[in-house]
Amino acid sequence: MKKLLSLIRKSKEVKLVPLFLTESFRSVSTALLSFFSAIYVFKAQLEITGDQKQAMIAAFLFFLILYIFKLIGTSLAENLSQKTGLRGQILIGEILTSLTILGFIASLKIFAIIWLTSAVWGLAIGFFWFGRHGLIAKLSSSGSYGETLGWASVVNTFLLLGVPFLGGFLINKFGYNAMFIVSFGFMILAFFSLTKVEEKMIHRDATIGQIFKLFSTHKRMALAYFSSGFVGAVYISALILFIFLTVKNEFAFGGFFSLSMLLVAITNMLVGKWVDKKGKKTLIAYGSVFAGIVWLGRFLVGSVFAIFIFDVIDRIASGMTGIPLGVLSYQKAIDGHSTGKAMLFREFSITIGGILGSLLVIFIAFFDIPLEFSFLGASLIALLPLVIIKRDGICGDIPPVLGQES
């Protein structure tokens, strides 16, 4: 807590406190959706058709649509940020997130609405995260990005500790409708916090053509971001559904993830401080290897206890790679005086990874291949951040344009 107060007192980081709050309230809201949306779509489709294969494909298709529209949302956010600012993109993202929750509620009566809901949620994610990353790059001190991201993660994690358990309890006792209503309540709190966030503008335009050109000239950095999106897609769809089918009900499922998050709550703060003081190379290397081992372990061992241990390790590994990669994005954005292009490059790379990860799990479900084989694919893709590491540090294949935008 003393460290948190110290961070708040810093002249630049104090500007980030309202952003952290609005992000945290939104995270609580969307975590309720994220943890249980694959299960909700699966169960609803299963009730309609009675076909488990169709239900799985529906759950995975939900996320494929989401990722496609996230790509659209990110591009729109970059264009609008030059006129309405980065805080404006967060506001649009929060409005769309609220509409997403209302879509979930409506789908309880008319399930077909879920596909429109998926598209709106994807747009919301694109708008919100473009604005959030851009504001951190512009408002935080360049020498303490790691600590800033670490503390943002700590605040988020502590608020999220009981969310999976809460979601499972609400569903078990009152049904999905109650969970959606609670989710909407936290979005209201996010709106109040946003009013205190400082506005910043994007001054340089980035075109889709420029971003795709970067993919061909800066393959290694694109692959590192791609890995994050691909693995995240497998996690939020196939792994979530696999764990639910193992523990059998939402209440046990929620308890599983709350306990896992409790054991990892402080790790990301330590990771952030390490990045600022020791650099990124070691963390990215170990984080990638640990993540690869974790996914291989999930493929080989299916017991609930083993999956729990792997989830704890995976959350630590994710911070070890995610925070350094985030710091790289922000540093290159500020060094090159162009936030838009770097954030677009980052988010496009991650989202394309999410699209391909979703296609993989749909393919696996369609051909009746056990879900565990998607974990094997994730174990290989999780190693991709290693390609940006050289013996003398992080490789130079970080787009100079990232050093001219991001």
Report DSSP state, residue 201: -
Is 193 within a domain?
yes
pLDDT at 17 (0 to 100): 79
Are the C-beta atoms of residues 127 and 90 closer than 8 Å to each other?
A: yes
Q: d(Cα 377, Cα 356) in Å, to the nearest integer? A: 11
CA angle 107, 102, 240 (to 5 degrees): 65
Q: d(Cα 186, Cα 29) in Å, to the nearest integer? A: 5
Is 64 within a domain?
yes
pLDDT at 122 (0 to 100): 97
Backbone angles phi, psi at 248, to 5 degrees: 85, -25
Is 3 within a domain?
no
The domain of 253 spans 16-197+206-404
pLDDT at 301 (0 to 100): 87
Kindly calculate the radius of gyration of the chain based on its CA atoms and give it in whole angstroms. 20
In Å, what is the CA distance from 335 to each residue of 329, 342, 369, 399, 403?
10, 11, 47, 12, 5
Cα 270 → chain centroid: 20
Is 245 within a domain?
yes
Instruction: Tell me the two tokens of residue 131.
Output: 């604005």
Total number of domains constituting the chain:
1
One pLDDT digit (tens) per residue for the chain, 406 residues: 455 445 444 434 567 778 888 988 999 999 999 999 999 999 999 999 999 999 999 999 999 999 999 999 999 998 898 888 999 999 999 999 999 999 999 999 999 999 999 999 999 999 999 998 888 877 776 656 666 666 676 677 777 888 999 999 999 999 999 999 999 999 999 999 898 888 888 767 777 788 888 888 878 989 999 999 999 999 999 999 999 998 888 888 888 888 777 666 556 556 656 666 666 677 788 889 999 999 999 999 877 788 888 988 898 888 778 777 877 777 766 665 566 787 888 899 999 999 999 999 999 999 999 999 999 999 999 999 999 886 444 443 332 222 222 2
Phi-psi group of 139: left, alpha or beta (phi > 0 → left; psi -120 to 50 → alpha; rest → beta): alpha
User: Residue 113 burial (CB < 10 Å; 0-12/13-18/19+)?
Assistant: middle
Cβ atoms within 10 A of the Cβ of 118, count? 24
Q: d(Cα 98, Cα 119) in Å, to the nearest integer? A: 13
Is 4 within a domain?
no
Q: d(Cα 58, Cα 41) in Å, to the nearest integer? A: 7
Residue 349: enclosing H or E segment and its boundaries? helix 339-366
Instruction: Tell me the two tokens of residue 100.
Output: 């997403």
Are the C-beta atoms of residues 229 and 352 closer than 8 Å to each other?
A: yes
In CATH, what number is assigned to the domain containing residue 378?
1.20.1250.20
Are the C-beta atoms of residues 389 and 284 closer than 8 Å to each other?
A: yes
Backbone angles phi, psi at 327, to 5 degrees: -60, -45
